[in-house]
């Protein structure tokens, strides 16, 4: 994996992205410390996820995300009063 500093990346962004598009992986460094990896889209992420699942370190989601967020419940009590009531109930 090729390493490139942030300053050099700014100066050669187009060329670097073309190289990544050809399959090259690039590690971005800031003051000598690695801060990001630029990899071809879809390739590394899928492989890494499959590897984590195979190792048993990751469990795939059992269902997909809902299409929209649930509706909020209407309440006549203020949020502060609800929090205080929950706190008092735990004591």
Q: Where are the domains of the chain?
A: 2-55
pLDDT band for 44, please (50, 70, 90 cuts): low
How many Cβ atoms sit within 10 Å of the Cβ of residue 16?
Answer: 19
- The three-state DSSP-derived secondary structure of 50-91 is HHHHHHCCCCCCCCCCCCCCCCCCCCCCCHHHHHHHHHHHHC
What's the CATH code, domain 2-55?
A: 3.40.1620.10
Quick one: average pLDDT of 10-26?
94
Output the average pLDDT for the chain. Answer: 88
Total-model pTM:
0.48
Percent of the chain's residues with pLDDT above 70 = 96
Residue-wise pLDDT tens digits, 58-91: 888 888 888 888 888 888 889 899 999 999 998 7
């Amino acid at each position: 994996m090729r390493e490139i500093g942030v300053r050099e990346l700014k100066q050669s962004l187009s060329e670097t992205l073309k190289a990544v598009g050809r399959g090259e992986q690039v590690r971005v460094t800031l003051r000598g410390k690695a801060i990001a990896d630029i990899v071809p889209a879809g390739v590394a992420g899928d492989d890494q996820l499959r590897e984590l699942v195979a190792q048993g370190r990751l469990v795939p989601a059992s269902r997909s995300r809902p299409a929209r967020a649930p509706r909020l419940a209407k309440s006549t009590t203020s949020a502060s009063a609800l929090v205080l009531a929950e706190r008092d109930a735990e004591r």
